[in-house]
Structure 1
Amino acid sequence: MLNYAIIFLIIAVVAGVLGFGGIAGAAATIAKVLFFVFLVLFVVTLIRGRGR
């Protein structure tokens, strides 16, 4: 999941440098959503792991 967030972040940066603002914004939004999903799943995993 974190790998996809990093890939979309790189796509956003490259698209931004090349002048594709719409694509860069969309890719940045997708990267942000994936990163927060990763954080939530990571915290849930940590909490469930401590319970055992």
Structure 2
Amino acid sequence: MIRLIVIFLIIALVAAIFGFGGVAEGFADIAKIIFYIFLVLLVISLVSRLFRR
């Protein structure tokens, strides 16, 4: 998931450099959403490990 976040952020940066503001904003929003999903899954994983032990 981290790889997807980095890919979308790089695409957003390249699009912003070339002046495609709307496209850059879209890719940045997608990267944010994936990052939040990653955080939620990380917390769920950590809590489940805590209760297993």
**TM bracket (short chain):** over 0.9
| Shift >3 Å, 4+ stretches | none
Query: Counterparts of 1:45 and 1:26 in 2: how far apart (Å)?
Result: 29
Unmatched segments (≥5 aa) in structure 2: none
Q: Which residue number corresponds to residue 45 of structure 2? A: 45
CA distance in 1, matches of 2:22, 2:3: 22
Partner of 1:15: 15
1:5-51: per-residue Cα shift (whole Å, max 9, x none)?
A: 11101100110011011110000000000000000000000000111
Q: Matched residues in 1 for 2:47 and 2:3: separation?
A: 22
1: distance between equivalents of 2:18 and 2:41? 34
- Hey, what's the Cα distance between the residues in 2 that align with 1:38 and 1:11? 19
RMSD between superposed Cα atoms in Å: 0.6
TM-score (norm 2): 0.93
In 2, Cα distance between equivalents of 1:37 and 1:21? 24
Q: How many residues align?
A: 52
The residue type paired with residue 11 of structure 1 is I
Q: Secondary structure at the match of 2:32?
A: helix
